[in-house]
Amino acid sequence: MANEKSVASSGGSMTFTLETAHEHVSDVIKAIPESLTAFRCPLCGKSFVGYGELERHYALEHPEDVVPVIIVLQLNGKACEVLIEPHWTLQRTLQFRLGLTGAKHMCGKGVCGSCTVIADGRCILACQTLAVELEGVEIQTVEGIAADPKWKTLIDSYCRWDAMQCGYCTTGFLVTAKALLDRNPNPTEEECKEALAGNICICGTYPRHATAIMEAALKMSQPPEPPAAQGFGGFGGPGGFGGPGGPGGPGRRPPGQPS
Amino acid sequence: MADLVGVNGQRESFRVVGRHNLPGKLSYALATGIAKFGIDYVMPDMLHAKFLRSPYANARVTRVDTSRAWKVPGVVDILTWEDEDIKNLVSRGESFGPSRPWLDTLADTEGQEVAVIVVAESEDMCERALRELDVTWEVMPHIVDVMAGRDSEAPVIRPEVRDTPVFGAPGMGPVNPPKQGNVAFSNTVSGDIDKGFAEADYIVEYELRLPPFASHMPNPSGSVAWWEDSVYGGEGKDLHIEGAVRERRAIADMYDVPLEKTIQDGLFMGGKYCDWGLRKSQEVTPLLAKRTGRPVRCVNTREETFDFIMKERFMQLKVGFTKDGLITAIDDHSIADGGSWGSSSFGTTGDLTMGPYNSFKCQNVRQQMEIVDTNRGLMFVSGQHCPFNWDIGTMAIYLISEKLGMDPIDVAQLNLHGPDSQDDTRPVPSFDACIDAGRKLMDWEPHRAGEKRLPDGRLHGASFRYQMCPRHSFSGYDAKLELRDGVVHLPTQGPLFGVYAVECNAMVVAEELGLEYEDIAIDFDYREKFTPVGGGSDGTTASAWVMKECANVLKREILEATVEQIKNPPAPSMFGGFGFGGPPQADPFEGVVSADELDLVDGKVCLKADHSKGKPLRAAVSANLFATYSGRPPTALWAQGMGKKLDTMNTAYCEVAVDEETGEVEILRFGVVADPGKVLRPTSLESQIDQVMFFSQGCQLLEDYIYDPKTGVKLNNNMIDYKKPGILDVPRVDREFLETRAGNAAYGSNGISHSLANSHLVIIAIHNAIGVWVDPPATPDKVLLALGKC
């Protein structure tokens, strides 16, 4: 069941920067429940203190229904015990049992990529994959990626290039991009597009993703910049997405630094 | 230069406005997955709800027996249209069409919510209970073919509805005839059609179909609601509603809850571009939560989230013009899908008063519209579409250019009236600048249909269109800024739906206050009044104008407070005499007696005469200050005549390659030259242009609603069978922005609003390639059919 942290609004009066978002998502990861404390019948809502009682309840009250199962998911580096019905998808399990909503429900048919997660290094669609199939598989969601400092650069690039508008599909793109960079740390624009071919963005942000990914790849391949370094110059030219100036600019104070 | 009434409207130097790559204030929440959309909320002990939905396109529930459904495990509540709680529900959101019970027994489209709601421990149990309902349906004839619905022999699907809106244009023509069968009428006439055609050297006639287009909100509509003891006590519980973003007041009114006791933390709307209609799944959860005493979630499936953003229409056009290409008369007859209950005047009669005809010199125009009742679906308010008759205006210009062997840009330039009226023959500077830049951008070399072949053997086609850059002008804004502990805060209720409007406003505040974008703290809070919604996709230029005024009010207060602090400095620190901080600094403000001697530059309050002498804002002013400004910029020129006055314009271009053997159409590139007046936030403006060009691609090459004529069932309301463009489908979009400063919102901006989406830019380019017309969506089979190859 969802925890308080995951239910809290991410909008109300909160300021998000790369750092605060990283801290917040790290807290969300920490708050994922690892062991079961309640055994609730998904059919009628009655609660029991142990799985055995739940099984007996099914035998008596719902003899024709399939008894929920307990599985252990290796999720974002944690072993998480969940009680689900066998037909539950991973997307449903993440949202309704573990409080993770980064894998979004959009199409429900494996077309849009909004629910993408990484399983043993491969992108899979959480709306089309039964959770029970994934025991023993290392699963990484967008929250796990965002909590890993290594991927701050990718997230920052996505945000500074507006590689999102309404933002609903963004996490699916970002997970796919991370999987791409895992296997190809220096992708071309065409390789980025091919990797993202299974992700649909209704808002039409497509041209921005390759730009963000390639910028992140370039930065990640270089030694860390000194704090006062200029920002990335951008991909200019006709049809490109840069135009005048990258995130930096002459005479600009570093963010948050008093003048 | 416009924006003459606002402070600093003539500003020439910009540090923040116009900068690229300033991240959205909530982008980090979105990218990391911690942003919560309405349907993401999962509450302890939460129930789920589902509506009965009609399997028929037009049917009435005459009886329902719920007894078997009640026996399904986990069912907590079942309501029917006969329950008093349901009868008392009245929607307070934006709605159109005739008034009907909130939950009706009549379903006039397949999949519509009807008669029964089930609440259970899970969605699975809801669905199981719905299957156990014993429902008696009275199935009635349906209309899902708009043209068939016009037939005098067609069944009349809404005979009892007498108040079907028949919009007209008062003072512009004869009284509209009464509704006949399924068809309502709306006619407008200006000038003298007969005289205009008599003056013409040529007359061309054409018919076209504009396909329907799915709104396709990424996040399925839904809500989660619960009631809780008030944080501050008092009578009654607080209503917490998530998922009806921006509609807190509508929900509060619906349930007679004071606004201050209606809580909505979540700000993320998803891609609801100008679709403000509340769905029943967003309205019903407070009732169900009250009845059950538990949180309730109700969410539509993707299949249930397939509303129109643009409805189907058919158009017949007759245009008279001289041998020079000057239009003398236009006779326009259109047949529009009126849709089902919930349809609006947008996309039908509301467009009659807009469009290209008002931008022409020709004033002999007749528009006759038939609005046909159908059982095809719903359209809530408006969408990311351009008033439809822009398509037919674009078509008229192309047809004239084809007939006379002229460049369509020249035809458009000849027919476009001047800035002040349809009688004004002067050029429109913004338009001329756009076409000059457009010709260069596209290496524009127009050719007649079928005359150009590419080196790879495919046929080449190109097309052009123009539009105004209109700006929303009908909302006022209540802006508030606060200097708190040395930091400028911009409180706003949001919402967040993808146009970076809040960020654009923050950039203007930073510009005016001599600060950086990162210095402005945006406080998102559902209780705040300021919401920068209101057209102008460049971050909502009208609200930015109001925020600019507010920033200057705050600036004045800051400078006055600085003077006050000079006169009456705060008491020295008790540690001041112990040597911390080094020797006393010379006071840069010594001798200052008036705020007029000060300025705010680069984060400092400084002497106007010498910017090097100053103090950081936090040190200069210890007071906490508020500034407010309510109002709006002057009405946009566009809105003062719906095109009869012209300021900011844009042009769009398309190049295609058509393979005659396979029928495949490849869009080689789109080009857009837009003059939003002043570019405020370029990164999001670029995205908005990409978005509408991809919308155009989708509805011209890929998208359509398919119905089974026998049952009236929509066959492709899912993302497999209804194809949206993906990243490998979309073409290059070359864009260029001009800044004529001719708008009258912030700094002479107008924005681009809905002005670019167009369903015939690609279709015209295809005709220019192959010399025959293909109705959109131009799928390969249709292209081959048009070429006589299948």
At residue A200, the 3 state secondary structure works out as: coil
**Would you call B33 and A25 a contact, using CB atoms and an 8 Å cutoff?**
yes
CA distance B773 to B766: 8
Please give the average per-residue pLDDT across B568-595, as a whole number: 72
Beta bridge partners of B337: B372
Output the pLDDT for position B416: 96
Cβ distance B607 to B519 under 8 Å? no
- pLDDT tier, A234 (very low <50, low <70, confident <90, very high otherwise): very low
Beta bridge partners of B241: B225
Please give the average per-residue pLDDT across B9-29, as a whole number: 94
Output the pLDDT for position A98: 95
Residues 60..119 of A with a Cβ closer than 8 Å to B: which?
A: 61-62, 85, 95-96, 99-109, 111-112, 114
- pLDDT tier, B202 (very low <50, low <70, confident <90, very high otherwise): very high
Average pLDDT, chain B: 89
CA distance B246 to B531: 9
Cβ distance B491 to B426 under 8 Å? no
pLDDT at B152 over 60: yes
**Amino acid found at A1:** M
Output the pLDDT for position B98: 64
- Burial class from Cβ neighbours inside 10 Å (0-12, 13-18, 19+) for residue B174 reads exposed
Q: Specify the range with the lowest mean pLDDT, choosing from B152-166, B473-487, B550-564.
A: B152-166
pLDDT at B430 over 60: yes
Question: B486 CA to chain A: closest CA distance, Å?
Answer: 11
Measured in degrees and rounded to the nearest 5, phi and psi for residue B312 equal -65, 145
CA distance B386 to A241: 25
- pLDDT tier, A258 (very low <50, low <70, confident <90, very high otherwise): very low
**Would you call A194 and B728 a contact, using CB atoms and an 8 Å cutoff?**
yes
Output the pLDDT for position A251: 30
Q: Specify the range with the lowest mean pLDDT, choosing from A134-138, B67-71, B159-163.
A: B159-163
DSSP state of B701: I
Give the CATH fold of the A148-220 domain. Answer: DNA polymerase; domain 1 (1.10.150)
Cβ distance B200 to B262 under 8 Å? no
The residue written with tokens 């899912």 in the block is: B718
pLDDT at B172 over 60: no
CA distances from B348 to B168, B388, B524 (A): 11, 8, 36
Nearest to B778 by CA among B690, B718, B699: B699
Cβ distance B128 to B72 under 8 Å? yes
Output the pLDDT for position B187: 83
- pLDDT tier, A247 (very low <50, low <70, confident <90, very high otherwise): very low
Spatial neighbors of B761 by CB under 8 A, at least 6 apart, are: B394, B463, B465, B652, B653, B654, B670, B696, B700
- Return the structure tokens found at B407: 């460049």
Which residues on B lie below 8 Å from A45 (Cβ)? 74, 76, 121
Q: Specify the range with the lowest mean pLDDT, choosing from A142-146, A187-191, B208-212.
A: B208-212
**Would you call B30 and A164 a contact, using CB atoms and an 8 Å cutoff?**
yes
Output the pLDDT for position B393: 84
Instruction: Tell how many helices (H) and how many strands (E) occur in chain B.
Output: 18, 28
Q: Does A242 contact B at CB distance below 8 Å? A: yes
- Return the structure tokens found at A116: 């993408």
Q: Where are the domains of chain A?
A: 15-103+130-136, 148-220
Cβ distance B324 to B152 under 8 Å? no
Considering only alpha carbons, which residue of chain B is nearest residue A63?
A: B73
- Please give the CATH number for the structural domain made up of B416-472+637-786: 3.30.365.10
pLDDT at B20 over 90: yes
pLDDT at B205 over 70: yes
- pLDDT tier, B397 (very low <50, low <70, confident <90, very high otherwise): very high
| Length of chain A counted residue by residue | 259
Considering only alpha carbons, which residue of chain A is nearest residue B302?
A: A107
Output the pLDDT for position A248: 28
Please give the average per-residue pLDDT across A122-130, as a whole number: 98
Cβ distance B770 to B786 under 8 Å? yes
Output the pLDDT for position B586: 76
* Neighbour tally for B746: CB within 10 Å: 37
Output the pLDDT for position B354: 64
DSSP state of B736: E
- pLDDT tier, B346 (very low <50, low <70, confident <90, very high otherwise): low
Output the pLDDT for position A204: 86
CA distance B196 to B357: 14
**Would you call B271 and A241 a contact, using CB atoms and an 8 Å cutoff?**
no
Which residues on B lie below 8 Å from A203 (Cβ)? 218, 271, 498, 687, 691
- Return the structure tokens found at B210: 């504009």
Nearest to A167 among B35, B521, B732 (CB): B35
Global pTM?
Answer: 0.92
* Neighbour tally for B88: CB within 10 Å: 11
CA distances from A145 to A93, A153, A160, B400 (A): 19, 11, 18, 57
Q: Count CA atoms within 13 Å of residue B765 on its CB side.
A: 30
Output the pLDDT for position B388: 57
At residue A50, the 3 state secondary structure works out as: coil
- Burial class from Cβ neighbours inside 10 Å (0-12, 13-18, 19+) for residue A129 reads buried
CA distance A181 to A178: 5
Nearest to A28 among B30, B34, B41 (CB): B34
CA distances from B179 to A100, B334, B346 (A): 53, 16, 19
- Return the structure tokens found at B778: 């131009």
**Would you call B732 and A231 a contact, using CB atoms and an 8 Å cutoff?**
no
- Please give the CATH number for the structural domain made up of B38-140+217-299: 3.90.1170.50
Q: Does A238 contact B at CB distance below 8 Å? A: yes
Q: Are strands B598-601 and B202-210 parallel, antiparallel or unpaired?
A: unpaired
DSSP state of B682: H
Angle value at C-alpha A248, between A243 and A249, nearest 5 degrees: 75
pLDDT at B233 over 90: no
Beta bridge partners of B119: B49, B77
Nearest to B284 by CA among B69, B134, B126: B126
Q: Which of the two residues, B643 and A35, has the higher pLDDT score?
A: A35
pLDDT at B126 over 70: yes
Interface test with chain A among B16, B28, B309, by most A beta carbons within 10 Å: B28
Percent of chain B scoring above 90 in pLDDT: 68
Considering only alpha carbons, which residue of chain B is nearest residue A170?
A: B31
Instruction: Tell how many helices (H) and how many strands (E) occur in chain A.
Output: 9, 7
pLDDT at B156 over 80: yes
**Amino acid found at B671:** G
Output the pLDDT for position B173: 58
Please give the average per-residue pLDDT across B321-332, as a whole number: 96
Measured in degrees and rounded to the nearest 5, phi and psi for residue B436 equal -60, -50
Cβ distance A82 to A1 under 8 Å? no
Output the pLDDT for position B306: 87
Predicted-complex ipTM score: 0.94
pLDDT at B468 over 50: yes
Question: A241 CA to chain B: closest CA distance, Å?
Answer: 8
CA distance B98 to B165: 8
Tell me if B27-35+475-573+588-631 shares its fold with B416-472+637-786.
yes
Cβ distance B319 to B400 under 8 Å? yes
CA distance B121 to B127: 11
Nearest to B38 by CA among B245, B275, B216: B245
Output the pLDDT for position B159: 76
- Return the structure tokens found at B240: 């917490």
**Preceding omega of B616 cis (within 30 degrees of 0):** no
Q: What is the pLDDT of residues B494-549, one digit of tens each?
A: 877 778 889 999 999 999 999 999 999 999 888 888 988 765 555 478 899 999 99
Q: What is the pLDDT of residues A175-231, one digit of tens each?
A: 999 999 999 999 999 999 999 999 999 888 999 999 999 999 999 998 876 655 444
Output the pLDDT for position B535: 53
Please give the average per-residue pLDDT across B750-765, as a whole number: 81
Q: Where are the domains of chain B?
A: 27-35+475-573+588-631, 38-140+217-299, 416-472+637-786
Please give the average per-residue pLDDT across B138-163, as a whole number: 88
Q: What is the pLDDT of residues B653-677, one digit of tens each?
A: 999 999 999 999 999 999 999 999 9
Nearest to B139 by CA among B83, B55, B75: B55
pLDDT at B131 over 90: yes
Which residues on A lie below 8 Å from B521 (Cβ)? 15
- Return the structure tokens found at A165: 């508008």
Which residues on B lie below 8 Å from A20 (Cβ)? 28
pLDDT at B554 over 50: yes
DSSP state of B699: I
Which residues on A lie below 8 Å from B726 (Cβ)? 197-200, 206
Q: Which of the two residues, B338 and B706, has the higher pLDDT score?
A: B706
**Would you call B727 and A196 a contact, using CB atoms and an 8 Å cutoff?**
yes
**Would you call A245 and B19 a contact, using CB atoms and an 8 Å cutoff?**
yes
Give the CATH fold of the B27-35+475-573+588-631 domain. Answer: Aldehyde Oxidoreductase; domain 4 (3.30.365)
Output the pLDDT for position B83: 98
